[in-house]
Amino acid sequence: MIERYRTRVLLLALLGLCGPIGLDAQVRRGRANDVRSPWAPISLGARFGYDTSQNTQAIGAQVHLPILRSGRLALLTGADLVFVRGGAEKQYGAELVYVGGGQRGGLYGGGGIGYRQTSFGSMGSGRDTFFGYSIVVGVRSGTRGLFETRLEFRTLFLVDSDLKPQLATFGINFPLWRNPPAGA
């Protein structure tokens, strides 16, 4: 019971960070206009990888939501299907990450929460869903043409389970808009 409320409070806190940080008003004549860089774009994509804990392939979808205008702080969400013998397991997660290069890409790392629906270690037949905490490190290219690429390593520490999924993935994301190059 407490576990369910703790997860909801954490998700609401993460969503609250996505809200507007400040509001701008009109500039009166004679005052300088504060020119800011445009918001880093939201991007959607697919990822393909390998689950080292179960020695099998995985495929998934991901969303990159910038929280700061510069793109240095972002929320990564994703879902994966891990193809195990006898079917597929599902993994969901959301991580808050710091991106070293902001909109230009670069190294990033952070942590968050995740769920794994698995038959590993379940009591009896069927599948159990386990809650856990995740860490992620990766590298992201800046937007090149119509897409950007990512290479990620993610570990999910499941509560009440001996399974520790470790995914290594390569992803291709498509930004919803493009910003002009710096200095343009």
Which helix or strand (DSSP H or E) is residue 14 part of? helix 2-17
Structure tokens belonging to residue 172: 């291709």
Q: Is the pLDDT confidence value at 30 over 70?
A: no
pLDDT band at 91 (very low <50, low <70, confident <90, very high): very high
Three-state secondary-structure class, residue 103: helix
Q: Which CATH number fits domain 45-175: 2.30.40.10, 3.40.50.1370, 2.40.160.20, 1.10.8.420?
A: 2.40.160.20
**pLDDT at position 9:** 58
User: Do β-strands 43-51 and 148-158 pair in parallel, antiparallel, or remain unpaired?
Assistant: unpaired
Q: What are φ and ψ of residue 100, in 5° steps?
A: -60, -40
105 vs 11, residue with greater confidence: 105
Mean pLDDT (the chain, rounded): 81
**d(C-alpha 56, C-alpha 61), whole Å:** 17
**d(C-alpha 114, C-alpha 157), whole Å:** 9
Q: Is the pLDDT confidence value at 151 over 70?
A: yes
Q: What is the distance between the terminal CA atoms of the chain, rounded to a whole angstrom? A: 54
Domain residue spans of the chain: 45-175
Number of H helices, E strands in the chain: 1, 8
Q: Is the pLDDT confidence value at 132 over 80?
A: yes
